[in-house]
């Protein structure tokens, strides 16, 4: 059996080392490409949030903006790290960090979109429901006017007080020329409508 010379062993070892380095280089290029892709996605989500956040409801806007600022600071820090990093472990860590950042952006964007959708629904339906409440209260009053239903009478009186309180809040907002926060008022109105509907329900 032919013995392998020291030169041949050296060539084999050198070839193996170069092969490993080549594989690491290819893997590093793949990871770097993935980091750049996820960084681009994070930037796109950041821009979309920046465009939408001003359309969110008054009560949620500051909270959304605070979370957005924290994400933006983290993203700026990560981008700075990427520009100075060079080794594979840096890219792997950056990929994990950017993944967490992207998840944060996606979650925030989803919440902002849901808030805007709720705000739009409330702004559209709130004034309509507000105008319907007096008629619903009148109908409920007529329904139990001559009935011995102390529980329903108590519920109706409480509903009238709640409606009066709501009218007062709306009147104050208008006097102070403040925009009406229908996202706040609409759930109160829908709850009030449900309570009134209980009053007019037929009992078995």
Q: Can you read off the two tokens belonging to residue 19?
A: 């092969």
Q: With 0-12 CB in 10 A as exposed, 13-18 as middle and 19+ as buried, what is 9?
A: exposed
Contacts of residue 68, defined as CB under 8 A and 6 or more positions apart, other chains included, come to 49, 50, 53, 108
Could you tell me the CA-to-CA distances from 136 to 44, 145, 155, 192, 197 in Å, in that order? 48, 14, 13, 10, 8
- CA neighbor of 25 nearest in space, from 85, 87, 79: 87
Position 135 scores a pLDDT of: 94
Intra-chain end-to-end CA distance of the chain, in Å: 102
Note the pLDDT tens digit of each residue in 148-202: 788 888 999 999 999 999 999 989 988 888 888 898 899 999 999 999 998 888 6
Note the pLDDT tens digit of each residue in 46-89: 888 888 888 888 888 888 888 888 888 877 776 665 555 555 55
Note the pLDDT tens digit of each residue in 111-158: 999 999 999 999 999 999 999 999 999 998 888 887 778 888 899 999
Q: Kindly tell me if the per-residue pLDDT of 40 is higher than 70.
A: yes
Assess contact for 189 and 129: CB atoms under 8 A: yes
pLDDT band at 44 (very low <50, low <70, confident <90, very high): confident
């Amino acid at each position: 059996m032919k013995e392998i010379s020291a030169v041949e062993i050296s060539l084999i070892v050198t070839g193996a080392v170069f092969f490993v380095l080549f594989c690491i280089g290819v893997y590093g290029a793949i990871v770097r490409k993935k980091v750049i892709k996820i960084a681009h996605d994070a930037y796109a989500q950041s821009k979309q949030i920046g465009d939408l956040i001003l359309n969110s409801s008054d009560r949620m806007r500051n909270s959304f903006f605070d979370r957005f600022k924290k994400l933006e600071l983290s993203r700026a820090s990560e981008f700075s790290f990427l520009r100075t990093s060079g080794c594979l472990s840096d890219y792997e860590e950056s990929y994990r960090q950017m993944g967490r950042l992207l998840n944060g952006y996606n979650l925030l964007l989803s919440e902002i979109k849901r808030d805007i959708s709720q705000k739009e629904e409330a702004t559209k339906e709130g004034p309509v429901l507000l105008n319907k409440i007096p008629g619903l209260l009148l109908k409920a009053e007529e329904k139990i006017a001559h009935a011995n239903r102390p529980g329903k009478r108590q519920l109706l009186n409480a509903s009238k007080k709640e409606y009066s309180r709501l009218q007062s809040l709306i009147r104050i907002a208008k006097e102070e020329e403040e925009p009406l926060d229908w996202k706040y008022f609409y759930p109160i109105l829908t709850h009030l409508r449900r309570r009134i509907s209980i009053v007019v329900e037929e009992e078995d």
